[in-house]
Chain A
């Protein structure tokens, strides 16, 4: 378990991480989502004690990172796949990390096997492709058989096969009851892997929610309608108990998958429709709305904003009252 409490990091005037409080729980994959420069890597470096927080605290199973004896046996992290000495072989790279934490050399062979690098174990790391370097970084993370794993943008620059491999690896690690904390700037990637979602923007917490909740709230389907007989259609749909939202000049939207019902109602009342199309709001759009608004929402208070989905429904509610 990783607990962040009011964690902040300032570089001179620039606030990289601003008062982050959340918990990364075991047994699930927690996705750490935010646009580039949102403060994800800085946060992860603070978890490992590499960067000192300006304020706040981060604890691993209740302790600070530097209080852990043989820390690689508690937390395995892949922050930067290229953070190896290029002149050292993969085997020796892992061996020196293992020795520093009292991990037997036998384990080095095991993790090399797990990530599929046994054949190139004696090769110098500088000859490795990004995919191989990423696997070496993951081998280092797995070395101490840790209960907590942290990956910073692990699929960046990987081919589809490598991406697939990392996704499955993370899922199997979480299934073994480990804590998996993985960052990404791609919502689509998180939707496929994460069980829980922590979203930050400009260093601030924007959402801390289960993936299922986030999808339920943001990935709803709706029907888009354009008609020259707007008032009549509103009456008819209102009479049928269907909530309509005005979206833009001549466009109406109805939540849910109700296009057939609406079409039949319009035909019954001889209302002309110019468009009646079922739509699906993408998670990527929801994420972009969430992070794009971060400055505006947070200039005034420290509360995370309600996700964009429910707000759309509210506008409709107001219209109905009027």
Chain B
């Protein structure tokens, strides 16, 4: 890393740690993901007795403890969007680019810092959600040493990190926090779920970043599952989405007037 990029990374770290939104979005992500995962785990434990054989075969205690991810990821999305798009809404972008006219260095230093933070928080969230979720599951619980479990837990942290990166790319393209959230929130909370639950669109929905990426958190493959990719394949699809959004964000920043 060149001298200049080190300076910019330090600067971006100061930016990110000096605004309140960083703390509240990230803590919300941890709390919501973990709490919701615990709740669903407790409910699943009570329901297990009334499940049919198929349900019991598909029962995935690890995946169940990540049930809060769908909600918790929304806070990570807000974090990613605010880190990038607040530069535009506040007008700070002009001050920032006057200090760092190399726009690629500026954007990727910002993304690097936010990604590192998201990775730490995402991993902590994932391990917390797993252990506390398993505690709720009683004797149905999985152990971190079971086949595929450690991969799923680490994958949960990677998933949170990638969804944050994807949001930052989208925010860099749309250059407005409100617009970015108006696109990302309904997309991940509604559209993706609707596509997944309608049989005609189910096969398309599988290739969306969140659905492909969340495959990594699965340990037990559901009985009638015909998903054409495995856990790492799914994460790979998500990585492609992330790369596309970051490239798009970079091209917009590079081309447009600040």
Residues of A participating in the B interface, judged by any CB pair closer than 8 Å: 45, 48-52, 65-66, 68-72, 75, 77, 79-80, 82-89, 92, 95-102, 140
Contacts and interface: CB of A to CB of B under 8 A. Distances in A.
Given A51-B258, A88-B18, A96 B98 contact: no
B1 interface: no
B1 to A, nearest CB: 14
Contacts of B15: 85, 88, 92, 96
A83 B99 contact: no
Given A85-B86, A88-B15, A88-B18, A99 B95 contact: no
A71 B95 contact: no
Contact of B18 (A75, A82, A89): A89
Interface of B: 3-4, 7-8, 10-12, 14-15, 18-21, 86-87, 90-102, 257-258
Contacts of B101: 48-49, 65-66, 68, 71
A12 to B, nearest CB: 13
Nearest to B90: A85
Contacts of B102: 66
Given A48-B98, A70-B4, A101-B99, 15 more contacts: A45-B258, A48-B97, A50-B258, A69-B4, A83-B92, A83-B95, A84-B90, A84-B91, A85-B87, A87-B21, A88-B19, A92-B18, A95-B18, A96-B12, A100-B100
A269 B258 CA distance: 70
A96 B113 CA distance: 13
A314 to B, nearest CB: 43
B177 to A, nearest CB: 12
A77 B91 CA distance: 14
Contacts, number: 91
A6 to B, nearest CB: 19
25 contacts: A45-B257, A45-B258, A50-B258, A70-B7, A71-B99, A75-B98, A80-B91, A83-B90, A83-B91, A84-B90, A84-B95, A85-B15, A86-B90, A88-B18, A95-B18, A96-B11, A96-B12, A96-B14, A96-B15, A97-B11, A97-B99, A99-B11, A100-B99, A101-B7, A102-B7
| Closest A-B pairs by Cβ, 3 of them | A83-B91, A100-B11, A92-B18
B64 to A, nearest CB: 37
Contacts of B98: 48-50, 71-72, 75, 77, 79
B220 to A, nearest CB: 44
Contacts of B10: 99-100
Nearest to B3: A102
Nearest to A102: B7
B85 to A, nearest CB: 11
B7 A99 contact: yes
A80 B19 contact: no
Nearest to A64: B101
Contacts of B7: 70, 99-102
Contacts of A69: 4
Contacts of B21: 87
Contacts of A66: 101-102
A92 B20 CA distance: 13
Contact of A50 (B8, B92, B257): B257
A14 B32 CA distance: 50
Given A51-B258, A77-B98, A99 B19 contact: no
A45 to B, nearest CB: 7
Contacts of B95: 83-84, 97, 140
A70 B12 CA distance: 15
